Structure 1
Amino acid sequence: MRVEHLNCAIMRSPFVGPLPAHALLIHTDEGLVLVDTGYGTADYADPKRRLGPVRALLRPEKDERHTALRQLEAAGYSAADVT
């Protein structure tokens, strides 16, 4: 088993320094397991509707490459590879 750290968002709140949204990608003999706390592709596509007023507080960077899905794809995996 191998555990990989992913950063699925960077938030730039005016009250604290940059904050990551931690996620874990766990490689097991049975496949990949994703423990995700970041923003998804739908959140980046429509942040006003999906995140509401909290986006003004957290001020996430708008970069879809941070999503777990895009990081999986960049590593050669697909969403279907996650169990």
Structure 2
Amino acid sequence: MNVNQKEIKKYMYLISFAGVVLAIILNLSQVFHFIQTIWKLIVPFLVGFCIAFVLSIITKQLENTLLKNSKNK
């Protein structure tokens, strides 16, 4: 049976992937707890980015309005 290096590498990746999936399935509660912890850390940044985006739109409109008035004088 002659198996080349490419096939061996492919099978090793497949076995590794199956092992990782099996480990995740066996420790599902810990995985969900980890995802929940990461989510709790990311949410404040997402809210901050959303607020900054909305305020940026408002301030651009306000600046354009004020600059038009100052250029006319």
Under TM normalisation by the shorter chain, which class is it?
under 0.3
- Structure with greater helix share of residues: 2
TM-score by length of structure 1 reads 0.20
TM-score by length of structure 2 reads 0.22
**Structure number, greater radius of gyration:** 2
Higher relative contact order (CA 8 A, sep 6+): 1
